[in-house]
Structure 1
Amino acid sequence: MQINSFEAYQQAYKHSVENPEEFWAGIADNFLWKKKWDKVLSWNFSEPNVKWFEGAKLNITENCLDRHLAEHGDTPAIIWEPNDPEKDPITLTYKILHVQVCRFANVLKKNGVKKGDRICIYMPMVPELAVAVLACARIGAVHSVIFGGFSAQSIADRINDAKCKLVITADGSFRGNKQIQLKEVIDDALIGCPTVEKVIVLTNTRTPVSMIKGRDIWWEDEVKLVDANCPAEEMDAEDMLFILYTSGSTGKPKGVVHTVGGYMVYAGYTFTNVFNYQPDEVFFCTADIGWITGHSYIVYGPLSQGATTLMFEGIPTYPDASRMWQIVEKHKVNILYTAPTAIRSLMSFGTEPIQGHDLSSLRVLGSVGEPINEEAWHWYNEEIGKDNCPIVDTWWQTENGGIMISPIAFVTPTKPSYATLPLPGIQPVLVDEAGNEIEGNGVSGNLCIKFPWPGILRTTYGDHERCKLTYFSTYKDMYFTGDGCMRDQDGYYKITGRVDDVINVSGHRIGTAEVENAINMHSGVVESAVVGFPHDVKGQGIYAFVIFGNSQHDEDLNKRDILQTVTRVIGAIAKPDKILFVSGLPKTRSGKIMRRILRKIAEGETSNLGDTSTLLDPAVVEEIVEGAAKLR
């Protein structure tokens, strides 16, 4: 299953394109199935309708846990590094993890959870988060993990969309020098969530919390009431495994649905290949399990391959900027997979925090979440990899389930800031606005995929039409990624950024409509428009142009109020970096806001704004340009 030379990659790629069903059946044979499939693939992108390994029966947790017990039961499955460096790390072997998962799965069953029920998980980055995820999968419940930075309103929207029956949370979480009151946020969210029957609360920060009789129960109490014998529920390959909400270009978050069989095969296959994982190595992915990267490359991908995965509760700069390198040294990390935002942030501290830390265990470096800029790539390569570790600059999305375009470590020659070549099974095409394929090299276009892969999303929860409109209707018979892309003379792919109204902030996709809706909730705001702009650390920042009702207002106070409103409605992650108060917005005569013009102003490119004479009020553009110049 592991590709170890460029020739082997070319052969595997050729096989995967010429005979995809035979290729993926061969890969799937490396996993444990209760019953093999009747048909490898049936698909049609116009519906869209994609099914992999139809008729097959399995449970993903048997692949992640049970099958490793005989030979690797004492191998560390999860190493947990706490936020506080003074606290001891915790190691869960495959045996221990198996026991904890089975026990907690029985807690869920005891509390009325059945196959197909949706479970909301809003937890800190502690081992119990991975246990909760796997316990859901063990009994066939569908998990919906929500990142710990989202607001009560955002959580309520997601719980109600999925009609969750039970919530798993903790009293609070530690993040750097901050404590976040998770249970309090959940209490606020649940005021408007009629489908939730029970809340299981883990003790983590020992913060006082309100426990509601009949609804709220303690994790620690519940696990004492059950045993650790929990046979895995038999699942169909196309049964739902999880829902993960992602921002779209409309304000309403969409629940991306992944199914058991195809997702498992794709996450496991990409993990073992892209990172060239070797037995007993320590794999450190710095993402949060609330994002797809954490699902695929902290939990399911590594565990399906019997790997050791490191989970970190804190942030890379706490208590200081040497923390990541301390962790690498302490746990002898072999593979480090992090985001360009983290790399740029650590770069800003210079090389002093790296001094005195032994990074010689590192063998492979990875980057995820957004394209990595050349300066950060070189710093990562020279200062962290010591020119000795291949960097796998991985491109993929929540909807893809796993890495799509990426170098394979020690196999693909790399090029700074390029995602390089598609993995076996991935058939990318570049198209123009009309959907015509752009052939050859040295070209740019919109990135589409013309053939399904096992990890492709199956639908958006409760709204299949939205899935069709968002991903499959822009270009006929293709999955549209929403990204622009360039293919160079060598056939290497370089992602150039979103082409829709989505901003990539620190690797997290945030819909402009979502932020605008939140700003517009402020009582003094008449209208707003939000665009992305280049940001030294985050990659993209959020720039808000706001029309305020009262022209004689206190700008500083109202900026603070708007930031507070956005934090309350979405979460701190979506706070604008710049707010410019304006008297009007550039609109066409039909009332459409010309975000293209605002984007250029935000980027400081004011000399080439195009023809503004057709706007409803061309003078407003000059006013905005002047205001933006002062804000710089």
Structure 2
Amino acid sequence: MDNNFQIKTFEEYQQAYQQSVDNPEAFWESIADTFTWRKKWDKTLEWNFEEPSIKWFQGGKLNITENCLDRHLKTRGNKLAIIWEPNDPKERYIRFTYKEVYERVCQFANVLKKNGVQKGDRVCIYMPMIPELAFAVLACARIGAVHSVIFAGFSASAMADRINDAGAKMILTSDGLNRGSKQIPVKRVVDEALEHCPSVEKVIVVERLGWAVNMVEGRDVWYHDEVKDVSKECPAEEMDAEDMLFILYTSGSTGKPKGVVHTCGGYMVSAQYTFSNVFQYQESDIYWCTADVGWVTGHTYLLYGPLLSGATTLMFEGVPTYPDMGRFWQVVDKFGVTIFYTAPTAIRALMAGDIDDVLSYSLDSLKVLGSVGEPINEEAWHWYHTHVGKERCPLVDTWWQTETGGIMISTLAGVTPMKPAHATLPLPGIQPILVNSDGSEITENEVEGHLCIKFPWPGMIRTTYGDHERARLSYFSTYKNLYFTGDGAKRDKDGLYRIIGRVDDVINVSGHRFGTAEIEEAINHNEHVIESAVVGYPHDVKGQGIYAFVICKDIPEREDWLRAEIIETVVEKIGKIAKPDKIQIVSGLPKTRSGKIMRRILRKIAEGDTSNLGDTSTLLDPDVVDEIKEGAL
């Protein structure tokens, strides 16, 4: 990929940004022109935010994997595409060139076809961070199957919901996975989920731990058996620019996860452009995004963005704290990583360790640091910039969402201004605005408001799978003719944006979003629970912790036993990442006379800020607030 569209100076940024606002279609057309298309598009953009209906590069024909792999083979065939570093530093790492990745993807694609997958079929992937996960994702895209990756920490119940919503025909999984000092039986979780998933016809199992697992005859096959006699060539399916590329499930403010749909053409253009510019990627860089492919960051900035750019991307199976707190920095030194992209949660966890865990490594190779998943607090920003970046690496604090497909607001490394805990400026092609509660735009600086986007961009969500109305209600109905992000933001005197968090009932735990309704629904499954309310509160490591207020049928004999049971229920229904940090047993919840729970009050109590709870006299039972305050954990 040439870097003709890489912005090198602040002046170039200002020019590009102005062009993208004056004529967005011409701006994106010129970038899209640099990709390999089987047929050029007929119409660049058609949109309205009422329905919503957004179509980019209509009539254009392409395959994203030809742009990730085939077009690099002549010039970069022997260049490293993926470096895989295992969980255990004693196990050998594996390196794959572009030619090798191309062959592995074609082989995996042929295995999928051999097992009945066709263009348009949905394939769910529940796998650890092993090379086959990357090959599986690209293999689906190669043959036009829609991939839906489910993070391999979700429970069987959460997996079944996603499989059924997508109507998946096939599951790709592994026998087990390594996570730090633990080994987890992945296939067993899949088997449990599949007791409730009638659409699934085949399960392909990749061997990782060498465990004996239950294989259902006629349904389950081993990948290593299937791949033995397939070709290393597989023609790429011709896709329309607006054909579905993938579905990725994200939590909404209701209990049911929603399947965010991204399409082939626009997502491709967005992923490459944002990757190249935000990180100022150069041909010799070794780039490492620590995200799991189960999250959108792993899709766009571990796989698609880097491979579209012909980059070398590092994929890590492990966790930041195993075998010790220096693991990230050991990997950086081992491979000479130049660009490092991780989450504030990881940074805060490592801050809590001994500073020698960082100082024992040189980290001289680093040129750019990135942060993703949630707003990074100033203390973590300074620690990261000082101790990891040695105050010489620009730090890009990237704001974006599963729904936006790629980075929207961020410093461009070393090019545009950087300010601690600020996402700073929108990328060219992105038009953010702040609005007040009635939807009027706030144009001046030094203000706070709800963050909206007023014009479409190629990588944006098209629909929520199987339920278009939900997409309209979630993102386009709050403010007329605007995409509402659900986030509040401040704009400083220089026009730099700072994201201040969700304005709806969504909690951001370690960069992963959970709807409060989803967690409450899980808690309420416990036989002793009548009702619950969940809010987020500031957490030193995770950004936000989960605080649950629970009403029980009777006073529990042992509160700690009940708490343990509730946590078990949440883990079973959603997964460990959603378990509550604090569970307070209460006799009632602050409700309005119409029965609405006043979460604002619960949030303040959870935050320990009870001095200004506002007027509680309108509540159905104002006394309940005092009782909750006194029992606060």
Q: Normalising by the residue count of structure 2, what TM-score does the alignment of the two structures yield?
A: 0.99
Tell me the alpha carbon deviations over residues 481-503 of structure 1, each in whole angstroms, 9 at most, x when there is no partner: 00000011000000000000000
The alignment status of 1:434 with 2:438, answered yes or no, reads yes
Structure 2 counterparts to residues 196-207 of structure 1, below 5 A? 196-207=200-211
The alignment status of 1:351 with 2:355, answered yes or no, reads yes
Q: CA deviation at 1:439?
A: 1.1
Give the equivalent residue in structure 1 for 2:73.
69
**Alignment partners' CA distance in 2, 1:350 and 1:606:** 34
Tell me the alpha carbon deviations over residues 2-33 of structure 1, each in whole angstroms, 9 at most, x when there is no partner: 00000000000000000111100100111111
Give the equivalent residue in structure 2 for 1:3.
7
The one-letter code sitting in structure 1 at the alignment partner of 2:152 is: G
Give the equivalent residue in structure 2 for 1:518.
522
Tell me the alpha carbon deviations over residues 555-578 of structure 1, each in whole angstroms, 9 at most, x when there is no partner: 000100000000000000100000
Structure 2 counterparts to residues 203-218 of structure 1, below 5 A? 203-218=207-222
> Which secondary structure state, in structure 1, belongs to the residue aligned with residue 217 of structure 2?
coil
The alignment status of 1:407 with 2:390, answered yes or no, reads no
Tell me the alpha carbon deviations over residues 49-80 of structure 1, each in whole angstroms, 9 at most, x when there is no partner: 00000110000000000000011001110000
Q: CA deviation at 1:208?
A: 2.1
Give the equivalent residue in structure 2 for 1:307.
311
Q: CA deviation at 1:245?
A: 0.1
Match of 2:52 among 48, 55, 62: 48
Tell me the alpha carbon deviations over residues 284-311 of structure 1, each in whole angstroms, 9 at most, x when there is no partner: 0000000000000000000001000000
**Alignment partners' CA distance in 2, 1:356 and 1:459:** 48
- How many residues are matched? 629
Match of 1:458 among 459, 462, 485: 462
**Alignment partners' CA distance in 1, 2:170 and 2:508:** 31
Q: Unaligned regions of 5+ residues in structure 2, if any? A: none
Q: CA deviation at 1:552?
A: 4.1
The one-letter code sitting in structure 2 at the alignment partner of 1:117 is: D
Q: CA deviation at 1:401?
A: 0.4
Give the equivalent residue in structure 2 for 1:165.
169
Tell me the alpha carbon deviations over residues 148-189 of structure 1, each in whole angstroms, 9 at most, x when there is no partner: 110000000000000000000000110001111110000000
The one-letter code sitting in structure 2 at the alignment partner of 1:379 is: W
Match of 1:223 among 221, 227, 230: 227
Tell me the alpha carbon deviations over residues 197-243 of structure 1, each in whole angstroms, 9 at most, x when there is no partner: 00000000122210000000000000013111211000000000000
Give the equivalent residue in structure 2 for 1:30.
34
**Alignment partners' CA distance in 2, 1:431 and 1:581:** 38
**Alignment partners' CA distance in 2, 1:162 and 1:558:** 35
Give the equivalent residue in structure 1 for 2:594.
590
**Alignment partners' CA distance in 2, 1:413 and 1:550:** 57
Give the equivalent residue in structure 2 for 1:126.
130
Structure 2 counterparts to residues 170-319 of structure 1, below 5 A? 170-319=174-323
Compared with structure 1, are the counterparts of its residues 187 and 552 closer, same or farther at alpha carbon in structure 2 (3 Å cutoff)?
Answer: closer
**Alignment partners' CA distance in 1, 2:66 and 2:228:** 24
Q: Contact 2:397/2:411 (CA < 8 Å) preserved in 1? A: yes
Q: CA deviation at 1:355?
A: 2.4
Give the equivalent residue in structure 1 for 2:380.
376
The alignment status of 1:546 with 2:550, answered yes or no, reads yes
The alignment status of 1:325 with 2:301, answered yes or no, reads no
Give the equivalent residue in structure 2 for 1:481.
485
**Alignment partners' CA distance in 1, 2:557 and 2:17:** 61
**Alignment partners' CA distance in 2, 1:346 and 1:605:** 28
Tell me the alpha carbon deviations over residues 406-459 of structure 1, each in whole angstroms, 9 at most, x when there is no partner: 000010120000000000010001011110111110011000000000000000
**Alignment partners' CA distance in 2, 1:409 and 1:382:** 16
Tell me the alpha carbon deviations over residues 571-626 of structure 1, each in whole angstroms, 9 at most, x when there is no partner: 00100000000011111111111111000000001111111111111111111000
> Which secondary structure state, in structure 1, belongs to the residue aligned with residue 531 of structure 2?
strand
Q: Contact 2:107/2:231 (CA < 8 Å) preserved in 1? A: yes
Tell me the alpha carbon deviations over residues 456-511 of structure 1, each in whole angstroms, 9 at most, x when there is no partner: 00000000000000000000000000000001100000000000000000000011
**Alignment partners' CA distance in 2, 1:568 and 1:553:** 23
Give the equivalent residue in structure 2 for 1:532.
536
The alignment status of 1:610 with 2:614, answered yes or no, reads yes
- Aligned CA-pair RMSD: 0.6
**Alignment partners' CA distance in 1, 2:355 and 2:66:** 44
**Alignment partners' CA distance in 2, 1:619 and 1:559:** 25
Give the equivalent residue in structure 2 for 1:509.
513
Q: CA deviation at 1:259?
A: 0.1
Structure 2 counterparts to residues 131-142 of structure 1, below 5 A? 131-142=135-146
The alignment status of 1:469 with 2:476, answered yes or no, reads no
Q: CA deviation at 1:359?
A: 0.4
Q: CA deviation at 1:553?
A: 2.6
**Alignment partners' CA distance in 2, 1:513 and 1:603:** 20
**Alignment partners' CA distance in 2, 1:441 and 1:326:** 43
Match of 1:362 among 366, 381, 384: 366
**Alignment partners' CA distance in 1, 2:440 and 2:229:** 61
Give the equivalent residue in structure 1 for 2:502.
498
The one-letter code sitting in structure 2 at the alignment partner of 1:412 is: T
**Alignment partners' CA distance in 2, 1:122 and 1:297:** 19
Q: Normalising by the residue count of structure 1, what TM-score does the alignment of the two structures yield?
A: 0.99
Give the equivalent residue in structure 2 for 1:144.
148
Match of 2:560 among 545, 556, 563: 556
Structure 1 residue runs of 4 or more that deviate by more than 3 Å after TM superposition: none
The one-letter code sitting in structure 1 at the alignment partner of 2:276 is: T
Q: Unaligned regions of 5+ residues in structure 1, if any? A: none
Q: CA deviation at 1:147?
A: 0.2
Q: Contact 2:556/2:562 (CA < 8 Å) preserved in 1? A: no
> Which secondary structure state, in structure 2, belongs to the residue aligned with residue 192 of structure 1?
coil
Q: Contact 2:359/2:387 (CA < 8 Å) preserved in 1? A: no
Q: CA deviation at 1:348?
A: 0.7
**Alignment partners' CA distance in 1, 2:34 and 2:506:** 38
**Alignment partners' CA distance in 2, 1:148 and 1:469:** 29
**Alignment partners' CA distance in 2, 1:292 and 1:38:** 29
Q: CA deviation at 1:548?
A: 1.0
Match of 1:102 among 103, 106, 113: 106
> Which secondary structure state, in structure 2, belongs to the residue aligned with residue 193 of structure 1?
coil
Give the equivalent residue in structure 2 for 1:446.
450
The one-letter code sitting in structure 1 at the alignment partner of 2:320 is: P
> Which secondary structure state, in structure 2, belongs to the residue aligned with residue 189 of structure 1?
helix
> Which secondary structure state, in structure 2, belongs to the residue aligned with residue 208 of structure 1?
coil
Tell me the alpha carbon deviations over residues 505-548 of structure 1, each in whole angstroms, 9 at most, x when there is no partner: 00000110000000000000010000000000000000000011
**Alignment partners' CA distance in 2, 1:505 and 1:437:** 30
Match of 1:623 among 603, 608, 627: 627
Match of 1:15 among 19, 43, 47: 19
> Which secondary structure state, in structure 1, belongs to the residue aligned with residue 605 of structure 2?
helix
Percent sequence identity over aligned pairs = 69
**Alignment partners' CA distance in 1, 2:304 and 2:21:** 26
**Alignment partners' CA distance in 1, 2:503 and 2:212:** 46
**Alignment partners' CA distance in 1, 2:556 and 2:93:** 55
**Alignment partners' CA distance in 2, 1:178 and 1:148:** 14
The one-letter code sitting in structure 1 at the alignment partner of 2:268 is: M
**Alignment partners' CA distance in 2, 1:607 and 1:621:** 12
**Alignment partners' CA distance in 1, 2:253 and 2:186:** 28
